[in-house]
Amino acid sequence: MDLAAHIRNIPDFPKPGVQFKDITTLLLNSQAFQHVINTWKDRYADKGVTAIVGGEARGFVFGAPLAYAMGLPFVLIRKKGKLPGDTFSVQFDLEYGTETFQIHTDALNPNDRAVLVDDLLATGGTMAGMAELVKRLGAEVVEIAFVIELTFLHGRDKLGGLPVHSLVQYNGE
């Protein structure tokens, strides 16, 4: 399936010069959405994955249904102050500023093998922060899965050599 055909381009959002890749149109097409989840389910079925991890907020959109489809726990990584229990925190740089993410200290253990999921890889800051939190709990990052990768921003470079899988790549804005 041509997933790119279901991703809307919004020029000059959130600021002039940015070509925003909007996944809401992909989500409106049930076949395209199912294709994403089923492709990843098949990809990770035999890799010994024990948990799916998604970051606020679009990582929840893809991570939760993947965890459900695979019969695995779904681990939330949220913005600072949103998780009620004991947490670890990490601050990281974004394209437009900085952010702090947190994970519950008991969300994963050293025996866990996690796939991290998000909608888009741009500069890599968000996912680098998420991977740091997962590693801090002692879990292994099996792979990082994205629907979209903006290859021209070289986000993989910030991920310390972790394996990355993306379904749609854009080589220019």
pLDDT tens figures, 13-33: 988 988 999 999 999 999 999
Helix axis angle, 58-70 to 30-44, nearest 10°: 60
Choose, from 43, 56, 58, 136, the residue flagged as catalytic.
Answer: 58
Rounded to an integer, the average pLDDT of 64-83 is 98
Average pLDDT over every residue of 54-59: 96
- What's the rounded Cα separation, in Å, for the pair 109 and 111? 5
Short-list 152, 134, 48, CA closest to 162: 134
Confidence class of residue 98 from pLDDT cuts 50, 70 and 90?
A: confident
On whether the CB atoms of residues 88 and 102 are closer than 8 A, the answer is yes
Catalytic residue among 56, 95, 136, 149: 95
The ranges assigned to domains in the chain are 48-170
Residue type at 146 in one-letter notation: F
Answer whether 123's CB lies under 8 Å from 153's CB. yes
Which top CATH class is 48-170?
alpha beta
| Active site annotation includes 43 | no
pTM for the structure as a whole: 0.95
Burial class (CB in 10 A: 0-12, 13-18, 19+), 153: middle
For residue 58, indicate whether it is catalytic: yes
